[in-house]
Structure 1
Amino acid sequence: MSDSPGCPLTDVALAYLPRLAEVTSEPGLAAAVDQHAAAVCDALVPAQRGPEGRTVRREELADYVRGFTHGLSEAEWAEPAGHDFVTLRLTAVCWLIREHDLLDA
């Protein structure tokens, strides 16, 4: 992850969006990414926000990603070949970026 001053969603999308292709072919992986996406939404969007449904906002997700990736930098995390908690979480962030069209926001 870079420490660029811009929106961190672009960096995450570039790095992890390709992993979404794997999700469609592996039901267990799809379920794990779905659970991670739900956890991120729970952290960002209060359930009482409105009857029209929960909306993930670009600024909130970007702040979440900044904090998450800052922790990864401090821990000197290295991306594994497979899937761990971090890769699943960042893949879920990509799913949210795509579903809520947050790169063009």
Structure 2
Amino acid sequence: MDLSPGCPLIGVVATYMPRLSEFTFEPGLVAAVDQHAAAVCDALIPAQRGPEGRTVRREELADYVLGFTDWLSEVDWTEPVGHDFATLRLTAVCWLIREHDLLAV
């Protein structure tokens, strides 16, 4: 599994994983990130796999992140103070990485 410095998950984790610590202070953030995590899972995992087979795979999540961050670059997105759609989505990616232990070797 690719954990090279070029793996897009490494950069997302470095930038957005610290936002997970905000869950303690912002209960609404938990719900927002949970909704974004569900949307990412829906995009990655075909419905036919069923709930028992809902496994997020590192390679698929990395491809999703590449596409999403490419789109952010195309629209000249800059990270705001606080939370917008993109920061919530990238924070949700970090939550999925942590929950599915996707950076373990």
Both proteins in one fold, TM over 0.5: yes
* Distance in 2 of aligned mates of 1:83 and 1:50: 31
Identity %: 79
Across the aligned residues of Structure 1 and Structure 2, the Cα RMSD in angstroms comes to 1.6
- The range that moved more, 55-64 or 45-54, is 45-54
Runs of 4+ residues over 6 Å off in structure 1 = none
Corresponding residue SS for 2:15: helix
**Aligned AA for 2:101?**
D
> Mapping of 1:1-105 within 5 angstroms?
6-50=6-50, 52-105=52-105
Q: Deviation digits for residues 43-81 of structure 1, max 9, x if unmatched?
A: 001132156330000000000000000011111110001
Matched length: 102
Q: CA deviation at 1:9?
A: 0.3
Structure 1's 77 and 13: CA in aligned 2 closer, same or farther, altered over 3 A?
A: same
Query: Which runs of 5 or more residues in structure 2 are unaligned?
Result: none
* Distance in 1 of aligned mates of 2:104 and 2:83: 28
**Aligned AA for 1:25?**
F
* Distance in 1 of aligned mates of 2:5 and 2:70: 13
* Distance in 1 of aligned mates of 2:96 and 2:47: 17
Q: CA deviation at 1:27?
A: 1.4
* Distance in 2 of aligned mates of 1:5 and 1:76: 24
Corresponding residue SS for 1:52: helix
Q: CA deviation at 1:23?
A: 1.8
* Distance in 2 of aligned mates of 1:82 and 1:47: 33
* Distance in 2 of aligned mates of 1:59 and 1:24: 30
